Amino acid sequence: MDMHSFGNWLPKSKAHVNAWIQHLKAHATQNPTDLVKPVQDFKDLVDNDETLKELAERMFSYAGNQKEFTPLGTPEVLSFDEFIVLLNAIMTQAPECTEYTDPQTGELNPCGLIGFPINALLDWPMATPAGYTFFSNALVNQQIKKILTYWSTFLESQDSRYVLVTDDLNRTPKVLGWLNPTAQREMVGVACQATSDPALKALPFEHFFQCDPSDKYYGFKSWDDFFTREFVKGVRPIAEGDNIVANACESAPLQVVENVAESAEFWLKGQPYSLQNMMDFDPLAKQFVGGTVYQAFLSALSYHRWNSPVSGTVKKAYIVNGSYYLGNQYQGFGNPDGADDSAPNNSQPFLTAVATRAIIFIESDNPNIGLMCFIAVGMAEVSSCEITVKEGQHLNKGDELGMFHFGGSTHCLVFGPDVKLAFDFHNTEPGLDATNIPVCSRIATVLTND
């Protein structure tokens, strides 16, 4: 999946990402430290398994031999051992806000984000045949989960909030604190994508988000606390009406697919949704055969909590652990004729079947909707999904369901075959270039015979 297009989790500029990696290399060289335990365990796992070691060597060496075809141009990480050192350095860093001027185009990217730092390091190796096999391995994914859990502890600590207030204008790219006025304007701009009202866009950060501007850190206790910030009450009104489905996430529409299959095979192009895979082979999946899937993706600079699209009762709620670096791969690497076989937009249904995800079944109070399903899909480093509701709990439309930590990615609403919907895309066109639709606003109307 193309992280450069998908929610701007990586900057579009190859030079921007490469400059960030070069700085990380310099930092790791100038500040050598022992490997933290989960990173050391990951290294030991690979070093002591001949098959994994060979795959690791092959994916980096293959990337080094395919410079002209790499997604970011010349690969900056040339060996697994170098990757381990840089991965270790990331464990004590939080995602920074950067300002970068592309030397080729002169375009200023005032709020660039390396929201997927590990993904940036693996951008090409994971897309090789050896990389696909390596990251399909269950033991590898177990160790990656431990590494991300370790990193999450840092991102939830006060030590991580230095990125909220620290500027470094002498670096390339320049670093801006997330509470820098430039970064605040960018986040307000994302929150206002659905409006053309210049007066609304001119309002301050604190008009939209719960915070304390009198405090140095605006009251945020950590990077994660900042990233899971909440809207001020009333900023996002809840769409009214029993037949109105509310937008579950502040997100941009990707696509609507009808007549979804219970089970489907995944191919490189035109990948369908597979209900059994999406719902982890839950028996309830059968009730959605022939139904509708709505999928939308979250912006890196946006709101990352989930809200109930309907009023109803939680029937089931659970987390499915998945693979971390399969759904985001360029699945047609190294095409010498320049054709794009990766089809990143077509690989997103694949992500719903293999990535870490939260699955919440809700029995709507409206019999015209009945049982529906919300699926929050984690991606790469931001695969930490937290469900905050319990089975048997009654929800009012707009109530919080949970949140992504350290970012977010994509989500789906799934409806049964008898539910007919008219979607409202709020003057944007579904696809990778779509803009955000406000959370809790109308996303669809249930069509009835009345």
Which homologous superfamily is 244-447 in? Answer: Glucose Permease (Domain IIA) (2.70.70.10)
- CA neighbor of 9 nearest in space, from 428, 409, 412: 409
Write down the pLDDT at residue 437. Answer: 96
Token pair 């990233």: residue: 227
- CA 80 – CA 313 distance, rounded (Å): 48
Cβ atoms of residues 112 and 98 within 8 Å: yes
54-to-64, 66, 128, 131, 167 alpha-carbon distances in Å: 15, 18, 13, 11, 42
* DSSP structural state of residue 101: E
Q: Amino acid identity of 289?
A: V
- Torsion sign (Cα): 22, 147, 111, 426: positive
Task: Return d(Cα 114, Cα 19) in angstroms, integer.
Answer: 11
If you compute the radius of gyration of the chain from its CA atoms, what whole number of angstroms results?
22
Q: Which of 213, 225, 93 is nearest to 162 (CA)?
A: 93
List helix spans (H) across 384-435. Answer: none
pTM of the model: 0.87
Q: Would you say 402 and 386 are in contact if contact means Cβ atoms under 8 Å apart?
A: yes
Nearest CA among 200, 202, 153, 164 for reference residue 36: 153
**CA-based diameter of the chain, in Å?**
71
pLDDT (0 to 100) of residue 350: 65
The number of beta carbons lying within 10 Å of the beta carbon of residue 327 is 25
CB 144 within 8 A of CB 324: yes
Contact 359, 282 (CB under 8 A): yes
pLDDT computed for residue 347 by the predictor: 53
Quick check: helix, strand or coil at residue 111?
strand
pLDDT attached to residue 328: 45
**DSSP for residue 251:** B
pLDDT along the chain (450 residues), means of 10: 48 73 90 96 97 94 58 67 95 87 71 70 80 88 89 94 93 88 92 91 97 98 94 97 97 93 62 86 97 91 94 97 60 34 43 83 98 89 83 98 82 97 95 92 92
The CATH 2.70.70.10 domain(s) of the chain lie at 244-447
State both tokens at 26.
């310099």
Q: Tokens 């997604």 — which residue? A: 71
Of how many residues is the chain composed? Answer: 450
